[in-house]
Amino acid sequence: MNSNTRVLDPLVLGFWRLLDWQITPQENLRFLKQAIELGIRDTDHADIYGEYQCEAEFGKALALEPSIREHIRIITKCGIKPAFPSLGLAGKANHYDSSKTHIIAQAQQSLKHFGTDRLDVLLIHRPDYLMDADEVADAFNTLKQNGDVLHFGVSNFTPSQLALLQSRLDFALVTNQIEFSPYEMKALDDGTLDQCQQLGMNPMLWSPLAGGRIFSSEDEKAKRLRAVLQQVGEEIGSTEIDQVVYAWLAMHPSKPATVLGTGNITRVASAFTSQSLSMSREQWYRIWTASTGHSVP
């Protein structure tokens, strides 16, 4: 039996929109330092973010003050090969590559982009239908033995896909990064979050605010959620809907790590404050009911 000891912190800074923020490396460094002061150290990346530019851009901030590297953890992903026209790949198919050669090459490239000697966590970004679990395990073992990567995980894997890869490893995968929010709750029913508890694994949650749909969408589900989130927020002492969402997510016993997609330190601080909010089971299920549109059986 595995006890769920936390490997990842409750909140993670997500940098997939780093280029969209249009900030300088100096501004990014200041943002990082402010987040560290709040108590946040995990940062989420991927080789393909910003058409392969975001990792290197983040690395520019780290280069300004190399000691900052010791205060953060770098989580990045590989395995997606998009046919970006900017790379002369127009007409080619987007595809996945979980071969040993590709995984090791991309890990080495990420190390150079970040200007670091190790990645704290490396994830396979999407399940590859051609994944050879033994080959992936071989790549992971090589990177681990070389000290290039400390921990490994997956992203968007089904329970069976994760179980297959885990069966080939003699060390534990540390996370499955999945889409989950009060708007998108399929992981509650498809076995994904059950498996995380079973393995003592902290899932990482991307799109916790459903890409903003919880705030702005006019579909019936979103309108029900907004009303109930505001109601519950008033009951637990929060005026911010996103804080209520983060508190709702944190209640799951898998001890998830929620990826924040903002470069605004005020919003990060607001999310951090949500950790002090206390929500009852009835309130949690009231939000679940608003999302599904029906009561539990």
Q: Active-site residues: which are they? A: 49
Q: Tokens 């404050």 — which residue?
A: 273
Q: Which runs of E-coded beta strand occur in 79-125? A: 80-81, 95-96, 119-124
Helices 159-166 and 192-199 sit at what angle, rounded to 10 degrees? 30
Closest C-alpha to 77, from 38, 17, 144, 122: 122
DSSP 3-54: ----SS-SEEEE-TTHHHHT--HHHHHHHHHHHHHHT--EEE--TTHHHHTH
Q: How far is CA 213 from the centre of its chain?
A: 18
Measured distance CA(209)–CA(52) in Å, rounded: 25
CA distance to 133, 156, 244, per residue, from 180 (Å): 26, 11, 15
Q: Are 138 and 100 in contact (CB under 8 A)?
A: yes
Q: Which runs of E-coded beta strand occur in the chain? A: 11-14, 42-44, 73-78, 80-81, 95-96, 119-124, 149-155, 176-179, 204-206, 257-260
- Strand 73-78 and strand 119-124: pairing? parallel
Q: Are 225 and 197 in contact (CB under 8 A)?
A: no
